[in-house]
Amino acid sequence: MFAALNSVEPHIQNLTAIDLFHAEEDWAKQRRPAALKFAQTRLTALSDWLDGRDYLEDRFTVADLLMTTVLEIRAMIDLIAQMPRSRPIPAAL
């Protein structure tokens, strides 16, 4: 659980914030390569840990749920990018 929330999520959130809210800012264009590298480093470590395993521990736990939630953050960018710009976002979101 701590790996999901403290090792992986901050780097993915940082990259996500740059891409979603500041992509056109000069500082963000300069910062993004390093943010991407940090996120990739953490995801590579996660991938290495999971090599040959089905779960983070010896069985399915809440840590797997948390990690899945963290990994979905980045997936949302592609989903948002596919949304037509002229279509309003529902108030419930």
Higher pLDDT, residue 73 or 76:
73
Q: Residue 88 and residue 78: Cα distance in Å, rounded?
A: 17
- Over residues 14-24, the mean pLDDT reads 91
pLDDT band at 82 (very low <50, low <70, confident <90, very high): low
pLDDT at 17 over 50: yes
Query: Which domains are delineated in the chain?
Result: 2-81 (1.20.1050.10)
Q: Residue 32 and residue 16: Cα distance in Å, rounded?
A: 10
pLDDT band at 83 (very low <50, low <70, confident <90, very high): low
pLDDT at 85 over 60: no
pLDDT at 60 over 80: yes
Q: Is 67 exposed, middle or buried (0-12, 13-18, 19+ CB in 10 A)?
A: buried
- Over residues 31-58, the mean pLDDT reads 90
Angle at 54 between CA 50 and CA 58, to 5 degrees: 90
Q: Where are the beta strands (DSSP E) in the chain?
A: none
